[in-house]
Chains A and B, each alone.
Chain A
């Protein structure tokens, strides 16, 4: 049993209107507990819609979402509890910051949960630490932070709720390479320490290859592939035909094979490629 399971989810935007769009078409998926799962697909493939199904921001037209084996829409009144368990960091989350200080903004979620003052302070400190924010940042206005810091403050705002599943929609979009690496490393470390199930939506194949245990590929509202990064990236032709890319190193491996040096097609990180080239066991 997965931590979160989707069963035959269908969702249509603008139902009945001439511009009706089927965003999700009979999607069945299982997200394994304690893993980092990557969700890739080109723009409009239904990733962001799927992500909003997981914490009940959107209600599927048909199908079920199971969290720990329980249908999240069984009691629609208690959907808020689901949102505390499945923390969602939306795209460009820095635009959700609103409070006077970073500290009180991070405390917004825990306050909504009804935590007591002491626990809130503790949760905020821990979340800020995970997100790599220093003590001096907490007293500042969120609008005085840099872009990358704002993003991490928003991330901390979700982590502070202590969700058992953390869902991130394009967490590194629009950040410079340094900030990008910092935020993804923070997420990976957080996952390792807390055992949280993490689901990351991204366009970047390199990031997916580096950080994910499982990769799910979506196209036109359907799941077209699932597997380990090695499994998925070895099917480069299919990915390319779906308008997606593969990591640069995978391309190198393919080019090498064409030239007669076969190091396998399941290459997706530079380290891995180096080991193979040197003939070492990985």
Chain B
């Protein structure tokens, strides 16, 4: 029933971006977002567009997937665009004065730029992180980036282990929910009809077995981990050691160039100055 849901949005691949070190990727994403918000004029926005096209080419992800990823945001994007078109007071009115409302050229440009920025923001971060990094690699990256915090007694390893386990068990629990729901449906449960209260009540026979099995799994997992002498993070080596490669260096230079480009264009390029 829900077997068509793929958890996360990771797209299998072996592109340049897939091969980047997740630790660097997290840093890149934050830098990239900063760059996006620095952009102030049309030229900077052109550079932004160029950057997203480059990222797309580097990722080897089909455009269809990226567009699908934007679809949930369509409403917010359209909403901000409309607000900007009608509320922005510019200098170049487009409608005759007799109308009861006014639209300015600047408003339209402004709206387009906002739409562009949101689209690039969402697409760029998903290309850099979610589409090309497995959730496990991501938590690994986060753990190692936060490792210094362990010095001030933040249980970084424990948090990341919890996150990894949670991620690992989401598909399992979805499958389990499906099975239990089927079993109760076979005994006449009805999850789709009746009042809200009735439907909520119909979930009890699903939730109780689900929790019991989750606790059972947790206990089994804990036993299995103890059998393999797990004692937490201290002194533990890793099977997959993260390595920075020339690719990360190339990407680092590229991102630095991107931010520098945006700043320079902001300062030196003439033209319309984005007003928000």
Contacts and interface: CB of A to CB of B under 8 A. Distances in A.
Given A90-B179, A98-B204, A57 B186 contact: yes
Nearest to A114: B188
B209 A83 contact: no
B186 A143 contact: no
A80 B208 CA distance: 22
Nearest to B212: A143
B187 A109 contact: yes
B4 A17 contact: yes
Q: Does more than half of chain B's interface fall in helix, strand or loop, or is it mixed? A: helix
Interface in A155-169: 157-158, 161
Nearest to A15: B4
A15 to B, nearest CB: 8
Contact of B186 (A13, A90, A99): A90
A231 B36 CA distance: 73
A108 interface: yes
Contacts of B183: 90, 93, 95-96
A108 B3 contact: no
Interface in A64-99: 80, 83-84, 87-91, 93, 95-99
Interface in A127-165: 143, 157-158, 161
A116 interface: no
B213 interface: yes
A52 interface: yes
Contact of A113 (B179, B188, B206, B213): B188
Nearest to B189: A112
B47 interface: no
Contact of A83 (B3, B186, B213): B186
Given A14-B3, A17-B4, A90-B179, A98 B208 contact: yes
Scoring B3, B187, B190 by chain A CB atoms within 10 A of each residue's CB, the highest score goes to B187
Given A52-B182, A98-B204, A161 B187 contact: yes
Nearest to B176: A95
A108 B187 contact: yes
A57 B184 CA distance: 11
B180 interface: yes
A66 to B, nearest CB: 19
A163 to B, nearest CB: 10
B209 A57 contact: no
B199 interface: no
Contacts of B13: none
B186 A88 contact: yes
Contacts of B185: 57, 83
A258 B69 CA distance: 65
A55 interface: yes
A98 B209 contact: yes
B182 A57 contact: yes
A268 B206 CA distance: 41
A39 B87 CA distance: 69
A44 to B, nearest CB: 14
B205 interface: yes
B205 A98 contact: yes
Interface string A42-70: 00000000001001010000000000000
A112 B213 CA distance: 24
Contacts of A91: 179
Interface of B: 3-4, 179-180, 182-190, 204-206, 208-209, 212-213
Given A83-B188, A91-B179, A108-B188, 15 more contacts: A14-B4, A55-B186, A57-B186, A80-B188, A83-B187, A84-B188, A87-B186, A90-B182, A95-B180, A95-B183, A98-B204, A98-B205, A109-B187, A109-B188, A112-B188
7 contacts: A57-B186, A83-B187, A95-B213, A108-B205, A112-B187, A158-B187, A161-B188
7 pairs of A and B residues whose beta carbons are closest in the complex: A112-B188, A98-B208, A96-B183, A109-B187, A88-B186, A98-B205, A90-B183
